[in-house]
Chains A and B, each alone.
Chain A
Amino acid sequence: MEKYLIKNLLEKDKIEMLPTRDGYGKGLLQAGEKDNRVVVLCADLSESTRSHWFAEKFPNRFIQIGVAEQNMATVAAGMANYGKIPFISSYATFSPGRNNEQIRTTISINNVPVKIAGAHAGVSVGPDGATHQALEDIALMRVQPNMVVIYPCDAIEAQKATFASAFNGSPTYIRLAREKTPVFTTKETPFKIGKAEVVHKGKDATIIACGPLLYEAIVAAEKLKKEGISVEVINNHTIKPMDAKTILTSVKKTKAVVTVEEHQIMGGMGSAVAEVLGQNFPAPVEMIGVHDRFGESGNPEELLNHFQLTHPFIIKAVKKVIKRKK
């Protein structure tokens, strides 16, 4: 699998940097070209969600809703009920935050294929502060029956996830980030909704990561390799439905897990992994994520370090979890 990732993976200064929201914008264009049922709705944030590219190319299929996320969810539910494929675009704190009940009733219980793009997820939003840094959205979305939850690791994967979700026939949440992050997958890297990918092979512990922090997880694995610790890394981009098979196959081999995500520990991807392990193959788990607090202003790098989400903390967690193995 490693061959599918870019070659100079660890030379961060040479890697292309793009925000995952760019991938969303490109994925919308690609889906819009393929199928004219695709429509894009936006709540007064078209440039920062990158839905303005779609608006420029397909003005008749772009619907400006204004600052009204609840209405955006309900209008999209109606359009999907009719037969369109609507994408609703805003910041994750507002959608699926503010409009959570509308999503539950009119999208999830209705079971209509609305795609919810939550941009500006995580503390890496930076200076805007806690109100705009969504840390609860995975928890909100993964507890809704019928909802698919995807958290792409870079702009290329975000484009693939956006395109694929247009045609999966289900309510789907796509989690996106504001900040530029390394583009380390390629067009050839496999991506299938619901299929986790082993991106780094190892035997002493399994790091299960999602979103742009997957890059930090791979860096941690490479550094640990030099210390003689062999770590498997899984790109768990689809949080729901979770690929239990890939996770269990790896954990049965390594018997120790570190989960990595830019989200609250409670209810996030790591919690979902713990649910799978607890019921199938109990193993020690260390969790990298935000521990029951809100974010704050700062630059993204400062904040990622402050909240202990970067590779030095992942390395520490791996060593700790290996010690916990019986």
Chain B
Amino acid sequence: MPYWQYVKGGLPIGRQNSSTGVIDNKEIKKLELMANNIRQDIIEMLLEAGSGHTAGPLGMADIFTAFYFHILNHNPKKPFWEDRDRLILSNGHICPVRYAAMARSGYFPVEELKTLRKFGTRLQGHPEREKLPGVETTSGPLGSGLGQAAGIAYAAKMDNRKFRVYALMSDGEQDAGNTWESAMFIAKNKLHNLTGVIDRNNIQIDGNTEDIMPLEPLRQKYESFNWNVIEVDGNNIGEFVNAVEEAKSVKDRPTLILANNVPGKGVSFMENRYEWHGNPPDSLNISGAPPKGEQGKKALEELKSIADKLK
């Protein structure tokens, strides 16, 4: 059964009791608050920019927080440090979440987030390696991140380097042939220093993924391509961190973490609605949402009340 049939009221059920092994509850709580901050940053950035993608960044806030504040071996003051873990974002359109996580972890001042998509900014509408140190690759055109991550992982293996490579992809870009060419290459070369992550949020710009181009059974597709697959609730930080740790112990195959995410997570009227894939708050009138002009305000209110409960 596809995952979204488990979803009720926007919240995935059945995964709440997962073990939290390598990360304790106190740390998780801290990270959840940070993810909430990052979600507020995302809404504020998009309101200021007046264009951009909303649902994906909100859905991936927990995973980006886990990476930048717990998983990655990195130094925000030395973005070109040779032994840093590489976080490759293939679906560049969700870059607001990356920018917010980078700013909050010290790569650049948080105020700079307000320059998103504006003339002269380092925070381009789709991320560019040459503009902003730390984004690792230029991305946006879908399907080309996994291959670049593979190239880095292959080169690192040649030189016996110990850092890890993470390739973050959308589910929509599983439509692209390049993704599967890279999946074959990674499995052929047993690049276990690479972990793939798919943001399985079930939406893409034109609609639901299973209507646009069915991906299921996605897990079995990767398994048949000789990948180890771990399925998690991508909005459960503890579960995700554990999966990343588990992936490190698998040496005979690359690992894919299939992260079942709620697009628009944290803002009730955006959750699981594909209309918010490519639109910012206050840009469209749709059923179930507040009218234009109140959406951004409402979204921030909701996120703040979630934060209050977390505190």
Contacts and interface: CB of A to CB of B under 8 A. Distances in A.
Contacts of B140: 105
A74 B148 contact: yes
Contacts of A86: 151
Interface stretch (A76-84, A154-162, A274-282, A314-322): A76-84
Contacts of A109: 128-130, 138
Interface in A20-76: 39, 60-61, 63, 65-66, 68, 70-71, 73-76
A175 to B, nearest CB: 24
Given A79-B155, A81-B136, 20 more contacts: A66-B181, A70-B147, A70-B181, A71-B185, A74-B145, A74-B146, A74-B147, A74-B151, A74-B182, A78-B137, A78-B147, A78-B151, A79-B152, A84-B155, A105-B140, A105-B144, A106-B137, A106-B138, A110-B130, A110-B138
B237 interface: no
B149 interface: yes
B138 A105 contact: yes
A101 interface: yes
Contacts of A75: 147-148, 150-151, 154, 182, 185
Max chain B C-beta neighbours (<10 A), residue from A65, A77, A80, A82: A82
A250 B136 CA distance: 45
Given A71-B178, A75-B150, A110-B129, A82 B138 contact: no
Contacts of B141: 101-102, 105
B130 A102 contact: no
A254 interface: no
Given A60-B158, A106-B137, A110-B138, A81 B128 contact: no
B130 A78 contact: no
A82 B178 contact: no
B130 to A, nearest CB: 6
Max chain B C-beta neighbours (<10 A), residue from A70, A75, A79, A102: A75
B184 interface: yes
A82 B151 contact: yes
A250 B150 CA distance: 48
A83 B161 CA distance: 12
Interface of A: 39, 60-61, 63, 65-66, 68, 70-71, 73-84, 86, 101-102, 105-106, 109-111
A111 B184 contact: no
A79 B157 CA distance: 11
A73 B144 CA distance: 9
Nearest to B140: A105
A40 B150 CA distance: 15
A70 B182 CA distance: 9
Contacts of B21: none
Nearest to A79: B151
B284 interface: no
B165 to A, nearest CB: 9
Question: What is the interface of chain A mostly: helix, strand, loop, or mixed?
Answer: helix
Interface string B122-148: 000000111000001111110111111
B148 A106 contact: yes
B156 interface: yes
B177 interface: yes
Q: What are the 6 tightest A-B residue pairs by CB atom distance, in nearest-first order?
A: A78-B151, A74-B147, A71-B181, A78-B148, A68-B181, A75-B151
Interface string B181-218: 11011000000000000000000000000000000000
B147 A82 contact: no
Contact of B185 (A61, A68, A82): A68
B11 to A, nearest CB: 36
A74 B138 CA distance: 11
A77 B141 CA distance: 14
A6 B148 CA distance: 44
A65 B143 CA distance: 16
Interface in B147-177: 147-156, 158, 177
A102 B144 CA distance: 7
A71 B150 CA distance: 9
Given A81-B137, A102-B144, A105-B139, A70 B177 contact: yes
8 contacts: A71-B178, A74-B182, A77-B151, A81-B148, A82-B151, A84-B155, A102-B141, A105-B144
A76 B154 CA distance: 10
Contacts of B149: 78
A66 B151 contact: no
B219 to A, nearest CB: 22
A82 B83 CA distance: 11
A240 to B, nearest CB: 19
Contacts of B181: 66, 68, 70-71
Interface in B72-130: 88, 128-130
A204 B185 CA distance: 56
Given A66-B184, A105-B139, A106-B137, A78 B177 contact: no
Nearest to A111: B130
